[in-house]
Structures are given as C-alpha cells and as structure tokens.
C-alpha cells in the first residue's frame, strides 16, 4: 500500500451469513487459511455466523467494542461473506432474507473506522460489494480506509478459490496491491483518500469554476435578494461577497480533509499527503 493508506492490520473479523445448504465459504476460509496464517504471525481472528439483520448488526457492534477496548489499538479487517441484495440495495442476511441497507452498514462501519483512526479495511466477498462506496459523504468521517469488492455478481468459486491466496499474500507481505492480484479481476480496490480527492475535485469543478460557479453565484444572489437581510447591502455589495465566497477555498479543503480522513489525528501525521493544489489540478484537467 502507498504511505497514505498504510495500516498494520492486526485482526480479522469474518462475518458469514449464508444458507445452510450453500458452500460455507467463510467458514472454509477461516479453517483453511485464516486460523493457521494469523496464528503463525500472532494476529487475532473473530468469526461470526449470523442468520438475520439483528445478528449481523450485533456482530458489527461487537467489532466496535473490541476496537474501542483493545490495547494496543486494533486495526481491523472486516470480511463479509454474505450475499448482495438482488436489487443492489444492501447486504442480504440469510436464511432470514433480511437486507441491511448500504447506508446502515456505512453508519456502523464509520463508527468502527473512527475508533481505529481510519484503519479499517472492508473486504466484501459478495455480489455488488463495491456499492459500499456509494455512502461516501465528505461532511462525515470516512467509513473505511479501503474497501475491496466486486461491482457485479461474483461466483462462489471465485470467492472460494481467491481469498485463501489473497490472505496468504497480504498477511505474509503486507502488500495489498500484490494480494489483489490473487483475486478475480471482478474485484476492485477503492481507497478513501482517492475517493475524497476525486469528490472534492468534482465539487470545485461544478461549484467553484466556470459556468457552474456563475450559476451558483446567480442562485445565491437571488436567494439573498429575497431574504429579510437584503436591505443591509446593495446588490453589487452582495454580489462581491458571494463571488469571493464561491472561489476555491483551501481552508475548506483542509477542514473537510481533516474530518473525512481523520488526518489531524497524531497517528495520521503525514499519512495522507494529497493537497489543495492536487485537487485544483484535477478539477482543471477534468474541465
């Protein structure tokens, strides 16, 4: 992993929710790979077999408690061996058929990631697992450091054969990029710092530059002129203030970055080097 996404993962939490007549891929992964590999390097493992939404959320709450209480700090991998809902709305828990919406999962994951200071890796061994990234909100802390999953349906065979070699590589070398090569190419890796940079560059392009900024100025000016405070300024004075307000703002970038990536925490010093000039350049290149 690059410096900004370095993390020394030290415990795997595997949550399985499958029908009894299905291949128990999560349990097989625990017994064949995770137990021997983690034991060999002195790292922790927790395995949850859940059958409904409440048990799934209880498992996530237990992960949070373990992260909150652990000394030294727990840097977790949450491995989800479940099904994605057919309508792509979230995580299916079986045999109940309950669905945990992506928004509800993200809320739980966010609490865990805050507790471990942006060191949570989510591995989604389920169809549409990458849809977890749709719950990104720059105004809140990131729900993960990194997430792995497919954007499409994925077969049981791809899950069963890929994740053993993935974890062997990751746990022996610490190289997430090398570990990703052990998985089917249906699986992608998304990093919180890259998502933040992309989202902020998009905001600058759409709201602080060119036609988007001009339309925003006119919209804000119209709202001001209709407000009760309109008598306090001339239209030109109001326009001048709004024009200044809609310029790209480095202070705002730093505030959002600090909140989303938790980059102001002492353990994260110099860890996320993406800067304001970088996102400005990205916004200009995408224009």
What Rg value do the Cα atoms of the chain yield, rounded? 22
- Looking up tokens 């905001």 gives 203
Residuewise pLDDT in 10s, the chain (287 residues): 555 556 688 999 999 999 999 999 999 999 999 999 999 989 999 999 999 999 999 999 999 999 998 777 889 999 999 998 888 889 999 999 999 999 999 999 999 999 999 999 999 888 877 777 777 788 999 999 999 998 888 899 999 999 999 999 999 888 999 999 999 999 999 999 999 999 999 999 999 999 999 999 999 999 999 998 899 999 999 999 999 999 999 999 999 999 999 999 998 988 999 999 999 999 988 75
How far does CA 250 lie from the centroid of its chain?
Answer: 24
- As a whole number of angstroms, the distance between CA 206 and CA 200 comes to 10
CA distance 258 to 251: 11
Q: Taking the model in full, what pTM does it have?
A: 0.90
State residue 5's pLDDT score.
57
For residue 269, the model assigns a pLDDT of 85
Phi, psi at 122, each rounded to 5°: -105, 125
CATH of domain 3-195: 3.40.50.1460
What residue ranges do the domains of the chain occupy? Answer: 3-195, 198-285
What does the block give as tokens for 29? 């992964």
* Alpha helices in the chain, H assignment, sequence order: 25-29, 35-41, 53-69, 102-115, 156-173, 176-180, 192-207, 210-225, 235-245, 250-261, 276-285
């Amino acid at each position: 992993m690059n410096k900004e996404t370095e993390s020394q993962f030290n415990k795997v939490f595997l949550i399985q929710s499958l029908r009894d007549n299905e291949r128990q891929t999560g349990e097989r992964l625990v017994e064949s790979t995770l137990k021997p590999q983690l034991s060999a390097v002195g790292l922790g493992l927790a395995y949850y077999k859940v059958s409904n939404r409440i048990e799934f959320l209880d498992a996530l709450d237990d992960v949070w408690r373990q992260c909150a209480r652990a000394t030294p700090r727990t840097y977790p991998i949450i491995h989800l061996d479940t099904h994605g809902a057919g309508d792509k709305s979230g995580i299916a828990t079986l045999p109940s058929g309950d669905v945990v919406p992506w928004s509800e999962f993200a809320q739980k994951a966010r609490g865990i990631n805050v507790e471990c200071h942006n060191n949570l890796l989510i591995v989604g061994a389920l169809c549409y697992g990458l849809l977890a990234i749709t719950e990104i909100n720059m105004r809140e802390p990131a729900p993960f450091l990194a997430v792995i999953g497919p954007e499409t349906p994925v077969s049981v065979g791809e899950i069963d054969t890929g994740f053993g070699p993935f974890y062997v590589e990751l746990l022996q070398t610490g190289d997430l990029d090398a570990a990703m090569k052990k998985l089917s190419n249906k699986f992608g890796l998304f990093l919180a710092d890259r998502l933040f940079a992309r989202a902020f560059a998009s905001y600058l392009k759409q709201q602080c530059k060119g036609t988007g900024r001009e339309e925003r100025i006119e919209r804000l000016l119209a709202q001001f002129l209709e407000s009760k405070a309109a008598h306090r300024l001339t239209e030109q004075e109001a326009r001048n203030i709004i024009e200044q307000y809609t310029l790209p703002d480095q202070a705002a970038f730093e505030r959002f970055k600090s909140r989303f990536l938790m980059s102001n925490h002492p353990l994260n010093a110099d860890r996320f080097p993406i800067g304001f000039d970088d996102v400005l350049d990205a916004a200009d290149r995408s224009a």
